[in-house]
Amino acid sequence: MLSLTEENYLKAIYHLSDGGAKAVLTNALAVAMNTKAASVTDMIKKLSAKEVITYEKYYGVNVTPKGKTEALMVIRKHRLWETFLVDKLGFAWDEVHEVAEQLEHINSPRLIEKLDEFLGYPKVDPHGDPIPDHKGKIKIQPQVPVDQLQIGFQGKIAAVKDSDSNLLKYLDKIGARPGVKIKVLGKEEYDESMEILIDDHRVFISKAVSQNILVVG
């Protein structure tokens, strides 16, 4: 059983490690958790003792299979609650993150199964991120940031990397929501801005923005 704080650390480790693919350094985790390296070292020891991560001094941490499942359950809850807030309560998709950060720690497997059913077993959340099923299985479609696409590419917006509120508001304004059609028309050499079609609507976006829009084929 993990405490609320331990759950948040584990979730951050899972994300920083790209789902368990690579080791996470103490400092990176300290930045992500908005805390100090010394605090991270302490917490790492506790999470190792609980066998959700493995820890090698000065080299960083890796999630264990057990830890991965636990992290995915927190992510499942987070994304189901976000879906609830948008689909049922009428929140805008850029307003739900902070509340979902709280709701994700409610501990009741029955509640989550009922909520999943109530929402109609959604596959993705309002940001387009996949929702792990009750066994922790997640369907990973390769998501590519717009700035890496070739001219002429056509696809669908899958998710947004940064969850900064101002970015999300801007994307909403230009109609760049998950699920929407997207096509690359051109790239500007000089400032790396791009001309794209969002749901058949022509817009220009900066490098900072194109890096944060993830698409699938």
Contact residues for DNA, defined by CB under 7 A: 3-6, 25-28, 30, 35-46, 55, 57-58, 60
Q: How far lies 19's CA from each of 91, 119, 170, in Å?
A: 28, 25, 28
CA pair distance 158, 144, nearest whole angstrom: 9
* Count of positions on this chain that bind a copy of itself (CB under 8 A): 19
Q: Is 85 in the site for a copy of itself (CB under 8 A)?
A: yes
Closer to DNA by Cβ: residue 11 or 183: 11
* Residue 38: contacted member of a copy of itself, DNA, none (CB under 5 to 8 Å, by partner type): DNA
Residues 94-153 close enough to bind a copy of itself by CB under 8 A:
95, 98-99, 102-103, 106-108, 110-111, 114-115, 117-118
Nearer to DNA, 2 or 167 (CB): 2
Nearest CB to DNA, comparing residues 37 and 174: 37
Partner touching 206 among DNA, a copy of itself, none, CB below 5 to 8 Å by kind: none
Backbone angles phi, psi at 190, to 5 degrees: -65, -40
What span, in angstroms and rounded, lies between the C-alpha atoms of 77 and 110? 12
Say which entry of a copy of itself, DNA, none residue 43 contacts (CB below 5 to 8 A, set by partner kind). DNA
Candidates 63-71, 83-91, 144-152, 191-199: pick the segment binding a copy of itself (CB under 8 A).
Answer: 83-91
Q: Which does 15 bind (CB under 5 to 8 A by kind): DNA, a copy of itself, none?
A: none
- Residue 59 vs 118, nearer CB to a copy of itself: 118
Site residues (vs a copy of itself, CB under 8 A): 85, 88-91, 95, 98-99, 102-103, 106-108, 110-111, 114-115, 117-118
